[in-house]
């Protein structure tokens, strides 16, 4: 069993994670929208429909960013942003919040893992994940054990 260092997810980091996860899944949509916006901007003859499409491209992007920002800074995420640490065993991960409450989750209930250059996102549901930064493992052997015993089981 290993225990992570205390982890505190901030609203800013949640916003960053949300935006990056969305862009990794829907990058093609933004390429298409901004490509269309640039083509419409470069067109010398603009009619009202082209102007409307250009405004739609800009507005859609702004509204999407605002939606992610509102979600990240919402009071409804207060529980998600509490400081916590994890006790990890080969078959269960227990999250222990700063107020002492704990939530054990069996490894078999996780559905996927996203590994970035700085953290793991371990998904319980489509939009619910556990955030585990690499620096929460103090001895490097703990991170290696976590990779081998937990992450590899989830990926299968």
- The last residue of a domain, from among 21, 50, 77: 77
pLDDT band at 153 (very low <50, low <70, confident <90, very high): confident
Query: CB of 132 within 8 A of CB of 7?
Result: yes
Distances (CA, A) of 32 to 26, 27, 68, 70: 10, 9, 20, 25
pTM for the complete prediction?
0.82
Domain at 90, CATH number: 2.30.29
Which residue has tokens 């290696």?
A: 144
Residues 100 and 87 in one domain: yes
Where is the domain boundary, 24, 54, 77? 77
Nearest to 116, CA basis, from 19, 17, 25, 28: 17
Q: Are residues 87 and 73 in the same domain?
A: no
Q: Are both 134 and 96 inside the same structural domain?
A: yes
Q: Which domain holds residue 103?
A: 2-7+82-155
Over residues 78-106, the pLDDT tens digits come to 888 999 999 999 899 999 998 889 999 99
Instruction: Tally the domains of the chain.
Output: 2
């Amino acid at each position: 069993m290993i225990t992570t260092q205390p982890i505190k997810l901030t609203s800013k980091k949640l916003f960053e994670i949300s935006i990056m996860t969305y862009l990794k899944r829907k990058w093609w949509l933004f390429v298409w929208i901004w490509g269309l916006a640039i083509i419409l901007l470069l067109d010398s003859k603009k009619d009202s429909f082209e102007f409307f499409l250009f405004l739609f491209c800009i507005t859609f992007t702004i509204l999407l960013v605002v939606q992610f920002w509102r979600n990240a800074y919402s009071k409804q995420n207060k529980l998600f942003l509490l400081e916590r640490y994890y006790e990890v065993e080969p078959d269960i991960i227990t999250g222990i919040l700063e107020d002492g409450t704990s939530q054990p989750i069996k490894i078999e209930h996780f559905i996927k893992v996203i590994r970035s250059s700085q953290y793991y996102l371990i998904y319980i549901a489509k939009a619910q994940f556990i955030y585990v930064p690499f620096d929460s493992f103090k001895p490097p052997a703990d991170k290696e054990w976590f990779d081998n015993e937990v992450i590899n089981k989830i990926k299968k």
